[in-house]
Structure 1
Amino acid sequence: MIVGGIAGIIFWGGFNTFMEYTNTLEFCVSCHEMEQKVYKEYKKSVHYSNPSGVRAICSDCHVPKEWGPKMIRKIKASNELLHKVLGTIDTPEKFEAKRFQLAKNVWAAMEANDSHECRNCHDYGAMHWEKQRRRSSEKMQVAYKEKKTCIECHKGIAHNLPAEAMAQEEDDVPARPAVDPQAAPKPLKSMDKFLEEE
């Protein structure tokens, strides 16, 4: 009984250590498909380098923090290992051919969970609208009021948008009406005032 308990503790400790290792940046970019393409894009993003010095790594955006959802994501990731062995995206050309579908899969998952991983760091309630650029502040306040999820507006933050997504985005953007800058609403001073207007 004691030996079984000790073996269980050792197994559990090893399992958790390995699971945590698979969340590291080093693990994520250990295959050449990620290192050659995705990692280079990420290194140019605000999630890699920014004025505050806070870095979000792959697992911050792609792996839930909670244990149950994290394990489900890890099980789904085993499919990625199969495709690694099959060479599905082992060249830049193959990767680009699949990129839009891969992106759509991630976007759909993020929309389904209300951009949960984004919200581990970003919180509407903690935002200072008045300290944001005017255009950003206006858009964020509208998104908040309409209960939009992060990924609806923030595709292409850490990775380049697939060409198909950029073409689709251009087709979806309506012509902008002329706006008098003096008539534009000023950013709100606090969330409380914003919520009162609803």
Structure 2
Amino acid sequence: MRASISRLWRWLRRPSAGVAAGTLLGAGFIAAIVFAAGFTGFVEYTNTMPFCTSCHEMREFVYAEYRESPHYRNNSGVSATCADCHVPRAFVPKLARKIKATFVEVPSHLLGRIDTPEKFEAHRGRLAESVWAAMKANDSRECRACHDPMQMTLETQKPRARARHLDAQVSGETCIDCHQGIAHKLPARPEAAEEEDFTL
């Protein structure tokens, strides 16, 4: 075994005399395609509902709330998945989001930081604020992938919603400034302010 590894290592290090450069390039090209396809396939798999709900924190604490929301079940029959709201569609921002999940969220899961309802509720506010801040920073990019304010039929909206949407176009507010708690319960807030109804 050791001799085989030694021979392989010597072969890898010596200049190619027995293998044509075209063969090496072709093999490298095919290997790159296989790697890219596998990588892309895995990244896309991590955007699926089965993957998102594979850990009990998401399945038991978050998914149950989402299933009661209009993003899951509604008159039009169109559902927004976890990835639709939490993962950018463009490749580079998507990759950045996946890297953050890998180095921030997965370790939290493995360390059991939110593995009980009590722990999850204790962190809900911080988690929500983090998501809202990211959405605010990117002008609610994931919302706008489905909802185009310029295509809204404002005249059919309730007066309050119409007024807020018109005002937001002028003031520069973004979707998440008003539409928090659409798919998940809002965190407990110190003030007992009554929630406004911004349904369309």
Q: TM-score range by the shorter chain?
A: 0.7 to 0.9
Note closer, same or farther for the CA distance 1:121–1:96 as it changes in structure 2 (3 Å cut).
Answer: same
SS in 1 for 2:107: helix
In the TM superposition, what whole-angstrom CA distance separates every residue of 1:24-63 from its partner, at most 9, and x where no partner exists?
1111111100111100100011111111111110001100
1:116 aligned to 2:141?
Answer: yes
1:170 aligned to 2:185?
Answer: no
CA–CA distance in 2 between the matches of 1:109 and 1:146?
A: 19
SS in 1 for 2:78: coil
Q: Which residue of 1 aligns with 2:60?
A: 36
Aligned mate of 1:157, from 177, 182, 185: 182
1:26 aligned to 2:50?
Answer: yes
Q: Which residue of 1 aligns with 2:35?
A: 11
Q: Which residue of 1 aligns with 2:3?
A: none
1:72 aligned to 2:96?
Answer: yes
Letter in 2 for 1:147: G
In the TM superposition, what whole-angstrom CA distance separates every residue of 1:60-118 from its partner, at most 9, and x where no partner exists?
11000000000000000012111111111111111111110001100110111111111
Q: What are structure 1's unaligned runs of at least 5 residues?
A: 174-198
Note closer, same or farther for the CA distance 1:169–1:85 as it changes in structure 2 (3 Å cut).
Answer: same
CA–CA distance in 2 between the matches of 1:168 and 1:63?
A: 31
Count of residue correspondences: 171
SS in 1 for 2:193: helix
SS in 2 for 1:163: coil
RMSD (CA atoms): 1.7
CA–CA distance in 2 between the matches of 1:3 and 1:168?
A: 64
Q: Which residue of 1 aligns with 2:130?
A: 105
Deviating 4+ runs (over 6 angstroms): none
SS in 2 for 1:170: coil
1:133 aligned to 2:158?
Answer: yes
Letter in 2 for 1:103: A
Q: Which residue of 2 aligns with 1:143?
A: 168
Note closer, same or farther for the CA distance 1:101–1:133 as it changes in structure 2 (3 Å cut).
Answer: same
CA–CA distance in 2 between the matches of 1:85 and 1:127?
A: 42
SS in 2 for 1:38: helix
Q: Which residue of 2 aligns with 1:94?
A: 119
Q: Kindly, what percent of the aligned residue pairs are identical?
A: 54
